[in-house]
Amino acid sequence: MPPRTAELSMSLVDSVRKVIVPIHKEGYVFIAIGLVATIILANLWSPFGWIGAIITVWICYFFRDPVRIVPQREGLVISPADGRVSQIAQSLPPPELDLPAEPMTRVSIFMNVFDCHVNRSPVAGRILKMAYTPGLFLNAELDKASDDNERNALAIETSSGPIGVVQIAGLIARRIVPFVKEGDTLATGERFGLIRFGSRVDVYLPAHVVPLVGEGQTAIAGETVLADLSGNEPVPRSYRGI
């Protein structure tokens, strides 16, 4: 192959790779089921086949696992989930994490069915405690979902103290899939779990930490800075009451 042709071919491959987002392996079985269902439906009646194809494409989209550029400065707390910052409040951490029974700053991120559901560690540190709690499947946007819904909670040790991260199942979600175990060491932005199919992730910060995001803001897992434990990041004017 001539050098110029080879160069163009490699450029085309790179372009395709940038457009096609990787799919997490947890989605493979659902995609396979969607493809089989699509074939069966198409044989019954072709319009049904198109419906099946659209649903299968959505499944591929739901289980996407894009590459993220993670901020590396020590002390930063990064969003663990894609979605909307639904609430910022002072709240007691889940009792199963054995954290001090004192209010912490809770930042809640709500994921709808169109958000990427691969969750990433907000900080670097060792998992001190990991606890799964069965529960209900209320709307994850409700405040009581933190206490009543099925959840998987992690306490991560950092140089600034423990940080709580809680995956909460939602109205549609029926499965929280962990990728880690108690005692594991996580890097900031490392994948630690996935929730199917619409849910919420809460991050519990020390009470004195001022969030660098606001309610209603869109967060990107592994990239959006939620807070700075070292206090070196300037606080936006709107969050200083100015």
Tokens at residue 139, please? 């709307």
Residue 55 three-state SS: helix
Q: What is the pLDDT of residue 199?
A: 83
Q: What is the torsional sign of CA 130, 141, 75, 193?
A: positive
* Percentage, residues of the chain above pLDDT 70: 79
Domains of the chain (ranges plus CATH)?
3-62 (no CATH), 76-228 (2.70.70.10)
**pLDDT over 80 at 219, yes or no:** yes
pLDDT band (50, 70, 90) for residue 233: low
CB 99 within 8 A of CB 162: yes
Is 17 a residue whose pLDDT tops 50? no
27 contacts 59 by C-beta, under 8 angstroms: yes
Catalytic residues: 199
Measured between alpha carbons, how far apart are the two ends of the chain, in Å? 64
Instruction: Please say if the pLDDT value at position 64 is more than 80.
Output: yes
pLDDT at position 46: 87
pTM, 2 dp: 0.81
- Average pLDDT value over all residues in the chain: 83
| Cβ atoms of 166 and 201 closer than 8 Å | yes
| Cβ atoms 51, 179 nearer than 8 A | no
